[in-house]
Structure formats: structure tokens, C-alpha cells
Amino acid sequence: MLSFRILDFFIALLYFSGALSFLLGLIYSNKKTQDRSVLITATGFGLHTIDLVLKYALGIGEVLTHSQFYISLLAWSFLLIYFFLWWKLKLKFLSITAAPMALLVFTGSLAISPATLPIPGLLQGLWFGLHIGSLFISMALLTMAFGAGMTYLHLDKKIKSKTRLGNVTRDIPSLQSFDRANHLAVIIGFPLYTVGVLSGFIWAAFTWKTIFTWDPKEVITVIIWFIFAWLFHKRLSGAWRGKKPAQMIILLFVLSLASFVGINFFTETHHSLRP
């Protein structure tokens, strides 16, 4: 529908404007520009929420069976978790990760064909609520932790080498703030990831009559789960803080990205999002 195309265009434009203005605000150390960029991104998030709700309520093309809808929902999840962390930890700086990721994934959802997903009718609610919901929230937490981890390592290197801080680095919050974001993302994200994986196996049992098919997506998901479990244990026990969990969360993000992009779009499997 033309009205939804126009709405999608404005959402993408707001996400682009928010990402660009936040970057400029950092470069020129302009807090007003940074605050304005967050407001712009929040406006885009609000319109994106309306877009998803309307498409679901109106049943546009039976959206619960279309990959395009889920990719858009993932972009929305990034900002949902960003605003949660901003409220919880006062980490506005993570917008440098959230806004660009939301822009890339949302515009990507508009570019792909709405491939139909094999979802059993009786399990639509369960699969959507548990599998997609929990995995998307855990992925969003992982993405924000990736931004926090990259920033932590960059700032830690600057401090240890006693390098003079530039305009961008000068406005970065403390190392402890980014470590707290990492800790929160792992403690909440791993249980959600576990729920998502288990509900996916249940869904597979109903769809393909087997729990595990050795599909590349399933194999890498299990590998990610074990690494995530190890990191969760280390963080929960207090054995790891700072640099090690930052490095580990970056590895998890790279593996998740490879799984999401590489396998979903470039590999012939029953998890492929290609039409």
C-alpha cells in the first residue's frame, strides 16, 4: 500500500537523520545536537511502532508469515533495548550503535522480498512470542553490548597508552558504565537466547518432525549458545570484568551477524529468508 510506503520512507529518513546528527554532535562536542539526534531517532521509533502495529492489526499480507515483517521488527528491537539502557544506565552514547543498526536493518527489510515462512497455524502465537520475541530482544542486547564493548576497548587503550583524548573520546562515559551495559546485556540476554533456542527446537519438531536437522543455522546457533553460556557463567560469578567480556561479546556479535546475514540470505537452508 502506498500509505505504508510513505510511512516507511519517513521512518528511514528519521533514522538516517538521527544517526548522522549524533555522529556530528560527537565530532563537534555539541550536546544539543546529540540530544536533538536522540529525539529524532525516538520520533522514528514511534512511527516505526505505529507502522508495525497497523500492519499487524490490518493483517497486511498476513504479516506473521512474512520475513520482511520480522526483519523490520528486529530493527525496532534494537531501539527498544537502546532506550531501555539509556533509561537504566544513562548511556546515551550507545546511540552511535543503535541508530545506524536500526537504519541498516530497517532499510534492509524494505529491500528484501517478503518471503513466506513455514509457520504452523497452531503455533503462530507461541513461535512469535517465544522464538522471535526472545531471540530478537537477546540480539538487540547483544548489539548494544557490542557497541559498549568496542567503546570500552577503545577507551581502555587510550587510557593505558596515555593518549590525548580527542573531541569524540572526551564525551565518552566511564569504562565502568560500558562494563555495566555489558553485564546487564549478558545477564538478561542469555536466558532469553536460551528460551528462543528451545522454542525454536519445539517449532522444528512440529514443522520438520525432528528437533535437530544439522542445518547450518542450527549448528552455529548451538555454538553461539555454548559461548554465550560460558560468558554468562563468568559474568554471573564475577570472574570476568572489563576487557575479557568486552572481547567475548564482540565475538558473539560477529558470529550472530554471520549467522543472520550469511546463512539467512546467502545459504540454501530451510532458515533462508530469500523468496
Would you report the helix, strand and coil content of the chain in percent, each value rounded to 5?
Answer: 80, 0, 20
pTM of model > 0.85? no
Indicate the SS3 state at residue 91: coil
Q: Kindly tell me the burial class for residue 91, based on how many C-beta atoms sit within 10 Å of its own C-beta (0-12, 13-18, 19 or more).
A: buried
What tens digit of pLDDT does each residue of 45-100 get?
999 999 989 888 886 556 666 677 878 888 999 999 999 888 888 777 788 888 88
Side-chain-side CA neighbours of residue 207 (13 Å)? 19
What tens digit of pLDDT does each residue of 108-152 get?
878 766 555 555 554 555 666 677 888 889 999 999 999 889 989
Find all residues with CB under 8 Å of 10, minimum gap 6, and list them.
44, 47
Task: Please indicate whether residue 11 or residue 31 has the higher confidence score (pLDDT).
Answer: 11
**pLDDT value, residue 233:** 93
**Torsion of the alpha carbons at 253, 254, 260 and 266, rounded to the nearest 10:** 180
- Phi then psi for 72, rounded to 5 degrees? -65, -40
What is the share, in percent, of the chain residues with pLDDT greater than 70?
A: 79
Residues 140 and 243: their CA atoms lie apart, in Å, by 21
**pLDDT value, residue 193:** 93
- State the sign of the Cα–Cα–Cα–Cα dihedral 112, 114, 115, 120: positive
pLDDT confidence tier of residue 248, bands split at 50, 70 and 90: very high
Side-chain-side CA neighbours of residue 34 (13 Å)? 17
Indicate the SS3 state at residue 66: strand
Show the DSSP H helices in 112-174 as ranges.
Answer: 124-126, 133-160, 167-170
Mean pLDDT of 232-256: 91
